[in-house]
Structure 1
Amino acid sequence: MTGNPTREDVAPPAPAAAEPAPRKNPGLLAATGSIAFATLISRITGFVKQVLLLTLLGAAVASSYTVAAQIPNMISELVLGAVLTSIVVPVLVRAEREDPDGGAAFVRRLFTVSVTVLGLAALLATAAAPVLVTRFFLDDTGKVSTTLTTALTYLLLPAILFYGLSALLTAILNTRQVFKPGAWAPVLNNVVVITVLVLYFLLPGEITLDPVRMSDPHLLLLGCGVTLGVVTQAMSLVPALRREGISLKPLWGLDDRLRQFGGMGAAIVLYVLISQAGMVFATHVSSSADAAGPAIYNNAWLLLQLPYGVLGVTVLTAIMPRLSRNAAAEDTPAVVDDLSVATRLTMIALIPIVVFFTVAGPQIGTALYGYGSFGEGNAERLGQAVSWSAFTLIPYALVLIHLRVFYAREQAWTPTWIILGITAVKVALSALAPVVARNDDQVVLLLGVATGLAFTVGAGIGGFLLHRALGDLRMANVGRTLWHVVTASAAGAVVMLIADRLLRLGALSDRFGGVGSMVRVAITGALMLLVTLTVMWLLKVPEILAITAAVRRKVDALRGRTPVEPEIAEADADEIAELEAARESEAEKTIVLPRLDYGDYGVAPYDAVTEVLPALRNLPSHIDAHGQLPYPGRRQVRTARDGSRRFADAGRPPGYLRGGRVEQEGVRVSDDHATGKSTVDESASTDPGSVSTDADGTRSPQAGTPDRSPSSRKSADGAADGRSGAGRPQRDPHVDTGVVPVSSPQLPPLRVPGSAPRTPMRGPKLIPGASVAGGRYRLLAPHGGARGLRFWQAQDVKLDREVALTFVDAEQRAGDVTGPDGPQAILSRTLRLGRINSPGLARVLDVVRGSSGGIVVAEWTPGRSLREMSGTEPSPLGAARAVQALAAAAEAAHRGGGALSIDHPDRIRISVAGDAVLAFPATFADADVTSDVRGLGAGLYGLITARWPLPEQAAPGQQPPAQTGGTIGGMRPADLTAEGTPVEPRALRPEVPFEISAVAVRALAADGGIRTAATVQHILGQASVVDQKTDMIPALRLGQRSPGATNHALADPEALAEEKKRSERMLFALVGLGITTVVLLALIGWWIANLLAGGSSDEPLTSQDFGLTPTTEAPSEPVAQAPAPAAAAGPVAASAVSVFSPQGTPDSPATARLAIDGDPSTEWSTDAYFQPFPALKNGVGLMVALAEPAALSSVSVTSDSPGTKVEIRSAPSDQASLDQTQVIGSATLRSGVTEIPVESEGRTSDVLVWITGLSTSGGGNKSSIAEVTFTAAE
């Protein structure tokens, strides 16, 4: 499959054994691809099913179906689903591995118990169906039909048994590595339901709502058909079970192992119960206020889940397994890093979707659901619900990430408290929704907002609990990315709105309905996506830059162009000859570590942070050159023969690997040294320590190696794999606080012993722009070095932050790698500094270990180096205060039993806060309290005098390096007195206070009386207070130093630059805030103006009623008892209109105003019905409010729907019921204008145009009204 040798290809023939061979996995990668494709098809068919349900059933019936379908789903999940996830699957896997029969008896017992429990639950739920519907989900006084919902519930509740069996059988197959049937089963369910809905459409008639009859063929087809889909989903798994030979014969009994997981199971069942309680309450509230409420609420949430399932889950799939493994291993720093990455990826993937849904929600609803019986009006309301609740995606995704961490850490009860907080907030806010809403249509919108706010609270609770459990979550980079993505998304939304207005795309929705809205959404969505990605690229969001680079490479590959890679070195003839000569005299070989090839499973990856070396068994002699580990110090070499690239050691000849073959490297590579085991191979000869060459060209050590019998090898393998508690290193208790990072165990160098001296290898070439640690860090700028260390400023590509890298044994010159003075010991000692939190020490974030040396990763310290700051002649008091911080860090290290190794000026930087910081930590073996005290004195002396008083020390085991230009770290050595001690600072700068000068000199002297860092800190603190000036000083700009002035702080140009940038950012933020405020105020003003103005009118302003003047004109002269003048004959203006639909949701309420806008080219239309009135409802109409009361003589209706039957009714108010209205005229409309005479007994201010029969001229049951005008009697 992959072209690489499989495990069977390279393994020696296995001896005969009594125990059966493990089951082979038939192509995991192929199965994974099939599962992904099946999941995609399942989502598509599921979405089609939901669209058909809404458009064919209509809002009222769809709400009843939604509630009825939720009940068996929730009961099945509560009875078995949660328990299956938390208890059954782990025990199932254990039973298959431990039981002599491979878990067959356990499966039979489990199936028997599950069928019994699910069957009883289905029977009890069916018997209690009326109670469940009317007491929990719906209200008898609500808008959703309880009788129809109860009837559907009776037909759907038997699906409880098959929902549970489908989940159980899928879990059983998954434990046998059979994934395809379980992935395709939901697709079969969706296909069956879609077929049932098509038959429902073809069946004549409609479901009768009053009364509801169980014998109704539509009702039976819908309920039984949906249940048949669930039965098909479960039964489709039976053939796969038979192929696997899994018996499902009844076997009574309960396995004792299930009780071991009872605590976790109870917590998860309680979690599900609490979450379902919130959903039930929200459904109850929505059904009480709106007949379409449950359908809109449920489908809006499903629509939000679609992008999360496609983008959110896809993006997090790569990071979540690693996060779970690190959490289970209690690797706190790795969990924090993965949590940060997961949060950043979530923001980048979902924020643009959230903004798009918020802005274009109504158009999306119309484009997807604005068809059939559901109608454009309900579809637009569903889109509005999506707009109001789109922000829920962000906290929802964060909550799921938090829950994954807690479950992986086996803190099963913590998610229960989180969901309890979420549900409490959701229930409280949902109860307030009907009170706050201005009308019933707004209730479902506020329920979506309540859900979003509840998950926001849950995300806050989860973040607080994670912070308490893991320590600092390092979310600074997440905040920066968040603002970048929000800015880019807002820019895309603004451009989208402007384009929508300028191009008049709204006409597409008005003229072509759902199809036009779909085209509109496609255009605006593509435009917003383009602008958003462009802005994020300009803001240099790392993930977007990586995507663009990958796309560019793909385009270049399709165009046949080879991408330019300047970092790849060409191997010239001279270099090859030189390295070949070095190879001839080299007796010790550093083994190239190939990545494990698992055949069908693929190639094992290496972690980008810490390269952990897995144990290799039976190392093959033929290994692909591309499988080598790119550790720092190796570079890619393009061969001249085939142009292929491979990694080569800096000290290895390019011909080291020939034809992808590992030559003369036969030593088994493992991590046994980490557990005290030997790494030598089991081959032997008569000469101890010698090396023999096998027939295949590999070498193996000879006699002198311990016996590796199969039993001993098995135990060693277990220890090497980290599965043995004895072999695992003891954890430091401080690790769980989130302060001390965790890295790989210390590994010895893997070499073949030899007698010839070892030729030094070339170290890695450290140049700006190079990537190290598997590409995790990109080098930015060098900052010197000391004692074999190299100091670099770098960019953490993964977490988007600057870090300080200290390369230990960068040139690979260390003789004893694992000794107390070796690089590995330096890394281990430095790792302990991670528990110190002090301004004087850059916090140690991680340690990356290599074959010889390694890298210390610490926080970057913005500011200036000690040499640069000393050149500015800082004030003595400022220098004293700076060294105080460094002395506090040294004292903290000494109290913990460690030391800082303050031995070189390149190590020390002055932060923007004016503190001296050990910016590049690396603790040598000779570091102790005395050496650190001398280092503090040297730092203070160097700051004041710009001279370094200590000699430059050599790396362990090496000669002191020659001083370049007579300087140490760029600083001149201190002048010495006749006694050989440094000249006092007061002699060089008379303004230096005596106490500060004395501290510097005495700390440097061995017998100066200052023996601890605490003493240095105390004396410098006193000196700063005693010599502090209290005189009035003139105002200076930030960073300005007047000549001769003694400032008490160290001025830093970097701090000034940072302050300037901060000021500029604040200015930009204020400008953006101002613009946003103006836009919001303009929108609010426009909304208020429309609200006050009401409907538009073509009449003069003097003839319009704004509600601010009386409806009748006052007489020109006051006349006692003068009767009001009669209304003049002629047209009467209409001031407002609304859709009147007492037995269902309104039809296209957003376009009702088009019937009185004076423009015959625009129209209001009803929904398309599959059956004429009164099959589903008795009618629909327009309630028109007249500008002034009038006695009408006729009503003219302009329509292109001939055959429409209408009644003209007078109403006492715009909120009157149908029974309260009175018929004053009726007619059957013809195409064009139809004038309807009316007989009005008096004046009326509200008129109902009531449609009792729909037009069938268009092939369906649908009518439209372009204009309605009224004429008053003379």
Structure 2
Amino acid sequence: MSPSPRVASGIGRASAVLASGTLVSRILGFVKVIIFARIIGQFGAGPDAFNVANQLPNQVYVIVAGGVLSAVLVPQIVRSALHKDGGVGYINKLVTLALVILGTTTLIATLFAPALTQLVVGDNFPAAQMSLAITFAYWCLPQIFFYGLYTVLGEVLNARKSFGPFTWVPVLNNVVAIAGLAAFSIMFGADPTGARSASEYTTAMVVVLAGSATLGVIVQATSLLYFWKRIGLSYRPDFHWRGVGLGAAGKMASWTFGMLLLTTFAGIIETRVVSAASGDDASVSVLSTAWLVFMLPHSIITVSIATAYFTRMSEHASTSKLSAVLTDASSAVRGTSLIIVLASAVIAICAYPFSTFFVEPFTQIQALGNVIIAYIVGLVAFCVLFVFQRTFYALGDTRTPFFFTLFQVILVTIGVIGCRFLPLEWIAFGIALVVSVAGTAQAVLAGFLLRRKLGSIDGRRLARSLLSYLGAAIVPTALGLFLMVQFGAFEDGGFAVSGAFGAIVSMITVGAVMAALYFGTLLLLRTPELKVVLDPMLARIRRR
């Protein structure tokens, strides 16, 4: 039974609000990283020390609470709405429990900041840089509590069909962080090359830089309390936790929790190895920035498409319509890959000009650009894997994703440890390439396991579509590379890497030419998936 026009319209509006908030937040986050690179740098002791410390809250939060809160406990809020009190009592119990867990975790993590920093970095940082990273960590680790608070408050709002705040308040976080970076620049001056040594960072510098980062997370979380009041919710502590469903939740979350542990372990190994190159070579900060570039098309394109299909797959799986689940999964992969193949080619060709937004010397542009390219190699497989993983979740299977994640983590761990033997200037590039290769192997294994579960994954059709996309991208990629050479993207002082203006002109020109040629080729090939993408756009143009 299809939803009524009014319901469909409501879903459409909610999706538009969610997508627009995510897009604005992603763009501002990207601006924040560019400003950070221009003020603090991407290479050197300071940027790497800060990035290690600022990643710790996310790592600890994900291990301790992220999987349980997001994957299991929070969805029960929807069911609690059937209670006589409309779920208010349950929400108070859940929030109280979450605050106690998060508060205890934050306190312990902050007390053990030196040990956590040592665990992630090992002995790779000199004494002064390690001391700076630990100091940053003391200021950053309180973010654990407020990340958790944001998750709980936001998911309660979502369950009450107030969708906008959860995706829009991260904009406030980015605004506060950008303001903090601007204040740092005014007070202490910019250092885009990262020449400032660890010992030159004063207490005031640490407070402004790390304090503003943490303040942004605090504002992001606490601002949701205003929206709670707007929908008539108020919080009263309730320590009577019976009925929260911890026993059942623990069983359901165990595989998801295990998967989070695996990915966190792999992340720690990557940081420990790449931190050996900290100083003049690409290290922690460069890997972090390159991964952000990698995730941009995935977040905007893949997540948007796959999320819409995930709802449909879940509905079909709940009624045992496995053929419909298969059709949705196949459509999601083909629709996503159509655009991601082009995005991968354009970003790879434009990697050097793109890097000029973050760094200035050509040697640093080359280093960052190479890491971006190494990550982009695995973007298509990463997006396919995302759809396969969501298909397993729609089928209620969290066990299988754990095992193909274990497979990927083993490959990554072996490969990353091997990268320690590379010259320092190539360690970050090697790690990014290892992640891409391991992710591709993981996607293949996930597809094989999904085929066993569903009986088919529409393999021939998927292969035919992917090959047609890759074939259509060959000539645009070659022409894009030729144009970038003409723009001087691969030589010191070339127009494309001379500054923001040259980078923008070259990327827009090359990107437009590649896109026109790519879609033109797909039109000539009469690619059916392209029709699905173009028809809504053409219909809207005709209406106008």
Q: What is the TM-score when the length of structure 2 is the normalising length?
A: 0.91
Matched, 1:330 2:320: yes
Q: Are positions 1:531 and 2:517 aligned together?
A: yes
Q: Which amino acid aligns with 1:243?
A: R
| Larger RCO of the pair (alpha carbons < 8 Å, separation 6+) | 2
Aligned-pair CA distance for 1:27: 5.8
Question: Offset of 1:503 from its aligned partner?
Answer: 6.3
Q: 1:76 aligns with which of 61, 78, 98?
A: 61
Match of 1:347 in 2: 337
Does the alignment pair 1:369 with 2:369? no
What displacement does 1:175 show?
1.4
Asked if 1:228 is matched to 2:215, the reply is yes
Out of 116, 125, 146, which is 1:162 matched to?
146
1:1161 counterpart residue number: none
Indicate the residue corresponding to 1:211 in structure 2: 199
What are the equivalent positions in structure 2 for 1:17-416 lying under 5 Å apart?
Answer: 29-58=12-41, 59-60=43-44, 61-97=46-82, 99-141=83-125, 145-204=129-188, 209-211=197-199, 216-256=203-243, 257-291=245-279, 292-366=282-356, 368-371=357-360, 375-416=361-402
Could you tell me how far apart the structure 2 residues matched to 1:26 and 1:121 are? 42
After TM superposition, give the deviation of residue 253 of structure 1 in Å. 2.3
Encode CA deviations 1:985-1036: one digit per residue, 9 max, x unaligned. xxxxxxxxxxxxxxxxxxxxxxxxxxxxxxxxxxxxxxxxxxxxxxxxxxxx
Structure 1 residue aligned with 2:435: 451
**What secondary structure, in the 3-state scheme, does the structure 1 residue paired with 2:382 have?**
helix
Change (3 A) 1:284 1:345: same
Counterparts of 1:552 and 1:244, CA distance in 2: 39
Using the TM superposition, give the Cα deviation of residue 55 of structure 1 relative to its aligned residue in structure 2, in angstroms. 1.6
Which amino acid in 1 is paired with 2:115? Answer: V
Measure the CA separation in 2 of the matches of 1:111 and 1:323.
30
Q: Contact 1:508–1:517 at 8 Å: present in 2 too?
A: no
- Write out per-residue CA displacement over residues 959-995 of structure 1, whole angstroms, 9 at most, x where no aligned residue: xxxxxxxxxxxxxxxxxxxxxxxxxxxxxxxxxxxxx
Deviations 1:753-797 (A, max 9, x none): xxxxxxxxxxxxxxxxxxxxxxxxxxxxxxxxxxxxxxxxxxxxx
Taking structure 1 as reference, are residues 401 and 143 closer, same or farther at Cα in structure 2, changes over 3 Å only?
farther
Separation (CA, whole Å) in 2 of partners of 1:547 and 1:402: 21
User: How far apart, in 2, do the equivalents of 1:550 and 1:93 lie?
Assistant: 33
Write 1 or 2 for the structure with the bigger share of strand.
1
Distance 1:205 1:488, change over 3 A: closer
Query: 1-side partners of 2:535 and 2:496: how far apart?
Result: 42
Corresponding residue to 2:498 among 512, 530, 535:
512
Alpha-carbon distance, 1:459 to partner: 1.1
* Alpha-carbon distance between aligned partners in 1 of 2:300 and 2:500, rounded to the nearest angstrom: 24
1:238 Cα deviation (Å)? Answer: 0.9
Does 1:432 pair with 2:418?
A: yes
Check 1:554–1:38 CA distance in 2 against 1; reply closer, same or farther (3 A cut). closer
> In structure 1, how many angstroms separate the alpha carbons of the residues matched to 2:473 and 2:296?
19
Q: In 2, distance between residues paired with 1:326 and 1:511?
A: 50
State the aligned residue count. 530
Instruction: Verify the 8 A CA contact 1:115 1:165 in the aligned structure 2.
Output: yes
CA-CA distance at 1:159 after TM superposition: 1.1
Shift in Å at residue 518 of structure 1? Answer: 2.3
Q: Secondary structure at the residue paired with 1:473?
A: coil
Alpha-carbon distance between aligned partners in 2 of 1:26 and 1:348, rounded to the nearest angstrom: 27
Check whether the contact 2:37–2:358 (CA below 8 A) recurs between aligned residues. yes
**What is the distance in 2 between the residues matched to 1:5 and 1:408?**
25
SS at match of 1:121: helix
Query: What is the aligned-residue RMSD (CA, Å)?
Result: 2.5
Q: Report the CA distance between 1:29 and its aligned residue.
A: 4.8
Distance (Å, rounded) in 2 between the aligned partners of 1:336 and 1:546: 18
Judging changes above 3 Å, is the alpha-carbon distance between structure 1 residues 144 and 349 closer, same or farther for their aligned structure 2 residues?
farther
Residues 290, 441 of structure 1: 8 Å contact kept: no
Change in 2 beyond 3 A, CA 1:140/1:553: closer
- Any conservation in 1 of the 2:341–2:473 contact (CA below 8 Å)? yes
Letter in 2 for 1:370: V
**Secondary structure of 2:156 counterpart:** helix
Alpha carbons of 1:294 and 1:502: their partners in 2 closer, same or farther (altered >3 Å)? Answer: closer
Q: Secondary structure at the match of 1:245?
A: coil
* Structure possessing the higher radius of gyration over alpha carbons: 1
Inter-partner Cα distance in structure 1 for 2:479 and 2:148: 49
Partner SS, residue 336 of structure 2: helix
Q: Is the 8 A contact 1:138 1:288 kept in 2?
A: no
Distance 2:537 2:239 in 1: 58
Which amino acid letter does the alignment assign opposite residue 75 of structure 1?
V
1:494-518 Cα deviation digits (max 9, x unpaired): 1222334456676753773343122
Distance 2:65 2:119 in 1: 24
Cα distance in 2 for partners of 1:143, 1:402 equals 45
Change (3 A) 1:484 1:206: closer
Do the aligned partners of residues 111 and 455 (structure 1) sit closer, same or farther apart at CA in structure 2, a change above 3 Å counting?
A: same
Indicate the structure with greater helix content: 2
Higher mean Cα deviation, 323-332 or 236-245? 323-332
**Distance change (3 Å), C-alpha of 1:169 and 1:423:** same
Is the contact made by 2:52 and 2:284 (CA closer than 8 Å) also made in structure 1?
yes
Q: 1:100 to 1:343 in 2, by over 3 A?
A: same
Inter-partner Cα distance in structure 2 for 1:127 and 1:505: 48
In the superposition, relative to structure 1, how do residues 546 and 405 fare at CA in structure 2: closer, same or farther (>3 Å)?
closer
After TM superposition, list the pairs within 5 Å mapping 1:617-1016 onto structure 2. Answer: none
**Is the CA contact (8 Å cut-off) linking 2:70 and 2:151 kept in structure 1?**
no
Cα 1:312–1:206 change in 2 (3 A) is closer
Deviations 1:144-200 (A, max 9, x none): 921211110010111111110010000111111112222221011111011111111
